[in-house]
Structure 1
Amino acid sequence: MFDKVLVANRGEIAVRVMRACEELGIDTVAVYSEADSDSGHVRYADEAYNVGPARAADSYLDHEAILDAGRKAGADAIHPGYGFLAENAEFAGKVEDSDMVWIGPSAASMEQLGEKTKARKTMREADVPIVPGTTDPVEDPEEIRAFGEEHGYPVAIKAEGGGGGRGMKIVREPDEAEDQLESAQREGEAYFDNANVYLERYLENPRHIEVQIVADHHGNVRHLGERDCSLQRRHQKVIEEGPSPALTDELREQIGEAARRGAEAAGYQNAGTFEFLVEDEGRDDGELLGVDADFYFLEVNTRIQVEHTVTEELTDIDIVKWQLRVAAGEELDFSQSDVDLEGHAMEFRINAENAAEDFAPATGGKLTTYDPPGGIGVRLDDALRQGDDLVTDYDSMVAKLIVHGADREECITRSQRALAEYDVEGIPTIIPFHRLMLEDDEFVAGTHTTKYLDHHLDQDRIAEAQEKWGTDSESATDEDEVVEREFTVEVNGKRFDVNLEERGAAAIPTASADAGGQKPQPAGGDGGGSETVVEADGEQITAEMQGTILDVKVDEGDEIAAGDVVCVLEAMKMENDVVADRGGTVSQIAIGEGDSVDMGDVLVVLE
């Protein structure tokens, strides 16, 4: 077994991995950006190293910075968590070429299964059903139109390296093919450094089912049952549960075996998730899927997933520990017949978002109150603590609440109790939304599909839930007096905590939320010491959230109308069109492609 593991991630997943390491007697190493210098995963680790400024590309995505931290720490292995470099085959290969062990599938497997066209070919050869589509990259809009004529519309354009809805665009008629192809390619390049895309027949009303697998280096492959991830917003999962309320035992066995068969065919090792879409085109709305329903391979996530906790509660198998053990060469000590799903489990993503405002992410704040629930069947995976500042440079997840019960009914009632106990103040969260869903007839009946939130749920009900169960999201005032007695220093990039007590001294002010981090530049800033000052008369179009400019759609002097798109803003892993509220002439453009912007920054000025 390893002596020391570097966790190349942050937040709750970094702490989750470190806890597994601690139970196995393994020392842990954290890496952190300047924005994360006081974050929970840094506090938890045995030692920590600064890997760069707030911008992820210059820190958590910097291959050499992560490898250098591992070498300095004398780490035996690197665990990537999920996101960032977790599915980056190039980085995995660099770790494999170093003196450290990569805790995950091999770079070759990631290359084979991480790119969706290669994965589809592998699954087809393993007799795993795939959605009708292409297995080679598509470059011409005419190919999309031809596919639509053959298979019918809508057609899904998907980024080869994509996932979670990123890099996916839907073409509902031939005239949309060119614009949607360009958008999908741009997202693929921006998110995954891969502009290749492929086509699939778009399933209008599917269930999203995924199967957890674990495989060792001795030829053993096990599936650990399925999770239902059908409650999604814009292809981003919100609540996950298992087992699926929509599968018969026969269909459950078919999908599980298909996943195991696909893993064997790919020579897969370590933990991973095989995702499927399940749809019975002939069923009526609200009717549960039956044994005759079709299921199709969607993709393989070659990493641990956010919702792996659901499977752990159902099987009592610690998946992260097995990631470590498999990477260390150990053999799985349980057979397929030993895997039993006991009861029912749900995971609620506790995101710092306001569901009543189109799930807009928080742009800052302090957890003035943070009192999570407990009791039988309740698990919390988090890294933040009361008094912590919310770091908004990366994602909106604060914690994951996982609830287990004897059956789905008990799981729902226990979840209602746990969410009611969950007290968070200082930032908005989607706890009110979760409480609404646990009273929603469609969700409680288990008949929802991936389209339910985006197309069927009455949005006024979300606003009512926020008003009923929401809390004050104002952060603590700057007038609060805080005595700080712990100092952090860095020597050669390594973090050290120093405790100092000054008797009778004045209180040391708490650092601001931006202290130690890289403050985002004003819109149009060049990232250096200069700033672009926007001084112009006219209508200013400003950013409604923090994000990155992917594309500017207008030029100075352009005449635009109300509703026209002026730029494309990426925020929280989603591409958002910024539109003009009124028509006019573009007199000034304050941003450029690749710029980071804060909420309220001026983007375009109209006259």
Structure 2
Amino acid sequence: MFSKVLVANRGEIAVRVMRACEELGVRTVAVYSDADKHSGHVRYADEAYNVGPARAADSYLDHEAVIEAGRKAGADAVHPGYGFLAENAEFAAKVEESEMTWVGPSADAMERLGEKTKARKLMQEADVPVVPGTTDPVESAEEVKEIADEYGYPVAIKAEGGGGGRGLKVVQNEAEVEEQLETAQREGEAYFDNASVYVEKYLEAPKHIEVQILADHHDNARHLGERDCSLQRRHQKVIEEAPSPALDEELREEIGNAARRGVKAADYTNAGTVEFLVEDGEFYFMEVNTRIQVEHTCTEQVTGIDIVKWQIRVASGEELAFSQDDVEIEGHSMEFRINAENAANNFAPAPGGKLETYDPPGGIGVRMDDAIRQGDDLVTDYDSMIAKLIVTASDREECLARSERALAEFEIEGFHTIIPFHRLMLTDERFREGNHTTKYLDEELDKSRIQAAVDEWGPQGGSDGDDEDEEVTERDFTVEVNGKRFQVSLEERGAPAIPTGSGGRSGGSGGRKRPPQATSDDDGGSDAVEIEGDGETVEAEMQGTILSVEVGEGDEVESGDVLCVLEAMKMENDVVAESGGTVTQVLVEEGESVDMGDVLVVIE
């Protein structure tokens, strides 16, 4: 067994991995960006190292910085969690070449399964059904049209390295082919550094079913049952459950065995998830996620198997201690992603704020995975998920009732979360019956019901923040020595209280135009942006990456015209002009990361 594991991630998944390490007697190392100096995963770890500024590309995604932190700490393994570098075969190979062990599938297996056309070929060879389509990349609109003529519209154009809906474009008719092909290729290049795409028949109303697998280095592969992830918004999962209410025992066995065949054919080890689409009693392979999944918790609850511990054990060379027949599914479990988003405002991420109240639920069958505590500031530089609520009961009906109770107990104040949306879903007849599909939220749910839920169950205003004077003032300091983080706490009697500042931009503009203001670089970050003239600025409503810039200086625009496309939280957002005028400055370019409030375009 390892003695020390570096967790190359942040937030709740980092803490989840560290808890597993602690129970195995393994010390933990955290990495953190400047934005995360005071975050929960840093507090939890045995030691922590700064790997760079807030921008993920310069910190959590910096291969050399993360590996160097592991060397400094003397770690003998790296666990990537999910997101960031978890499915990056290049990074996995670098870890394998170092003195540390990669906690995950081999870089070769990740490479084989990471590109979707290669994965489709491999699964076909393993007698796993795939959606009808190409097993080789397509390059031209004419090729797409030929495939659509064969299978019929709609068809899906998918980026080879895609996932989570990124690089996926649906073509309804021939007139859309060229535009959607270009968009899919652009997203593939922007997200995965791979513009290659393939085409397959688009299933109109499938269920999204995924099978959890574990495989060791001793030729053993087990599946741990399936999860239903069909409740999605823009291909992003919101609520997951295990087992699926849509599968009978025969189909459940077929799909589980197919997943095992596929991973064995790929010479796959460690944890992974084989994802399928199910429609009209037939199932089709979609992709393999070569990492731990956000929703692994549901499977743990109904099997009693700690998947993260087994990831670490398998990586250290241990053999799986249970057979396939030993895996039993008992009860029902649901996971609710607690995202800092306003569901009534198109699920827009919260702009920031302090966690004034954080009182999660408890009781039998209730599990919380989080890395936040009351009083923490919301870090908006990364994804919007701040916690996960997992509810388990003897059957689905009891699980629904227990979930209603748990969500009603959950108190969060300081910013919007999607708890009101979750509470709405538990009253929704379609969801309660379990026959919802991946299209339900985007195409069928009455959006006015979401607004009503937020009005009823959303935040009712924060606390006044008036604390009584205390004789003892506590002061916490963060000290870095050679990049390693130390926390120092001091108590002073009779000292004045430390005023609390906002620590960032004040709210209010929300991306609306306003007269330009001088900017400064108080924190030693990037150079200040100089705004020229008397025009009005269009600002970023959230942190993200510029996918494309649609205007240039001198262009005439009208109200509603798209100025640029901003990717945030794995979704594309059109940034539009609120009024007409002439573009006098374009202050961003394709591929650039921006923070909320950054000026994008100036219009006069």
Report the equivalent of 1:295: 283
Secondary structure of 2:313's counterpart equals helix
Structure 1: distance between partners of 2:519 and 2:146: 41
Structure 1: distance between partners of 2:378 and 2:109: 36
Correspondence 1:306-325 to 2 at 5 A: 306-325=294-313
Report the equivalent of 1:286: none
Shift in alpha-carbon separation, 1:330–1:541, aligned structure 2, 3 A? same
Residue 561 of structure 2, aligned match among 548, 564, 571: 564
Deviations 1:256-284 (A, max 9, x none): 0100110111111000000000012xxxx
AA in 1 matched with 2:529 = T
Q: Which runs of 4+ in 1 moved over 6 A?
A: 478-482, 522-527
Report the equivalent of 2:156: 156
C-alpha contact (below 8 Å) 2:271/2:292 kept by paired residues: yes
Report the equivalent of 1:330: 318
Report the equivalent of 1:519: none
Correspondence 1:571-582 to 2 at 5 A: 571-582=568-579
Secondary structure of 1:179's counterpart equals helix
1:246 aligns with 2:234: no
Deviations 1:100-136 (A, max 9, x none): 1000000000000111111111001001000111122
AA in 1 matched with 2:225 = G
Q: How many residues align?
A: 589
Structure 2: distance between partners of 1:479 and 1:147: 67
Correspondence 1:205-354 to 2 at 5 A: 205-280=205-280, 293-354=281-342
Shift in alpha-carbon separation, 1:473–1:396, aligned structure 2, 3 A? farther
Per mean C-alpha deviation after superposition, the further-off stretch among 174-183 and 473-482 is 473-482
Report the equivalent of 1:287: none
Shift in alpha-carbon separation, 1:475–1:451, aligned structure 2, 3 A? farther
Structure 2: distance between partners of 1:257 and 1:446: 24
Structure 1: distance between partners of 2:547 and 2:325: 49
* RMSD (CA atoms): 2.1
Deviations 1:401-431 (A, max 9, x none): 0000110000000000000000000011000
AA in 2 matched with 1:279 = E
What TM-score does the superposition give when structure 1 sets the normalisation length? 0.93
Structure 1: distance between partners of 2:461 and 2:294: 26
AA in 1 matched with 2:483 = G
C-alpha contact (below 8 Å) 2:155/2:199 kept by paired residues: yes
Report the equivalent of 2:542: 545
Structure 1: distance between partners of 2:520 and 2:277: 43
Deviations 1:359-397 (A, max 9, x none): 000111110000000000000000000000010101101
Structure 2: distance between partners of 1:79 and 1:295: 32
C-alpha contact (below 8 Å) 2:474/2:492 kept by paired residues: no
C-alpha contact (below 8 Å) 1:442/1:448 kept by paired residues: yes
C-alpha contact (below 8 Å) 2:40/2:373 kept by paired residues: yes
Deviations 1:435-471 (A, max 9, x none): 0000001000111000000000000000000000011
AA in 2 matched with 1:267 = D
C-alpha contact (below 8 Å) 1:523/1:598 kept by paired residues: no
C-alpha contact (below 8 Å) 1:481/1:509 kept by paired residues: no
Tell me, which stretches of 5 or more residues in structure 1 are unaligned? 281-292, 516-521
Structure 1: distance between partners of 2:144 and 2:520: 38
Secondary structure of 2:493's counterpart equals coil
Report the equivalent of 2:434: 446
Secondary structure of 1:402's counterpart equals strand
1:498 aligns with 2:495: no
AA in 2 matched with 1:560 = V
1:94 aligns with 2:94: yes
Secondary structure of 2:252's counterpart equals helix
Structure 1: distance between partners of 2:422 and 2:429: 13
Deviation at 1:23, TM superposition (A): 0.3
AA in 2 matched with 1:321 = K
Deviation at 1:583, TM superposition (A): 4.4
Report the equivalent of 1:554: 551
Report the equivalent of 1:183: 183
Deviations 1:517-568 (A, max 9, x none): xxxxx99999965322335455654433332222111122323344432211
Deviations 1:464-486 (A, max 9, x none): 00000011365876999894422
Report the equivalent of 1:410: 398
Deviation at 1:142, TM superposition (A): 1.6
1:532 aligns with 2:529: yes
Structure 1: distance between partners of 2:603 and 2:35: 34
Correspondence 1:13-32 to 2 at 5 A: 13-32=13-32
Secondary structure of 1:131's counterpart equals coil
Report the equivalent of 1:174: 174
Shift in alpha-carbon separation, 1:134–1:300, aligned structure 2, 3 A? same
Shift in alpha-carbon separation, 1:37–1:31, aligned structure 2, 3 A? same
Residue 409 of structure 2, aligned match among 421, 443, 462: 421
C-alpha contact (below 8 Å) 1:216/1:270 kept by paired residues: yes
Secondary structure of 2:261's counterpart equals helix
Structure 1: distance between partners of 2:99 and 2:586: 49
Secondary structure of 1:395's counterpart equals coil
AA in 2 matched with 1:85 = L
Deviation at 1:592, TM superposition (A): 2.5
Tell me, which stretches of 5 or more residues in structure 2 are unaligned? 506-516
1:466 aligns with 2:454: yes
Secondary structure of 2:305's counterpart equals coil
C-alpha contact (below 8 Å) 1:366/1:476 kept by paired residues: no
Per mean C-alpha deviation after superposition, the further-off stretch among 588-597 and 414-423 is 588-597
Secondary structure of 1:485's counterpart equals strand
Shift in alpha-carbon separation, 1:239–1:500, aligned structure 2, 3 A? same
AA in 2 matched with 1:493 = G
Secondary structure of 1:594's counterpart equals coil
Shift in alpha-carbon separation, 1:238–1:49, aligned structure 2, 3 A? same
Secondary structure of 1:341's counterpart equals coil
Shift in alpha-carbon separation, 1:413–1:142, aligned structure 2, 3 A? same
Identity %: 74
Deviations 1:64-118 (A, max 9, x none): 1011000110101000000000000011011111111000000000000111111
Per mean C-alpha deviation after superposition, the further-off stretch among 497-506 and 214-223 is 497-506
Structure 2: distance between partners of 1:454 and 1:191: 23
Structure 1: distance between partners of 2:468 and 2:55: 30
AA in 2 matched with 1:298 = M
AA in 2 matched with 1:559 = E
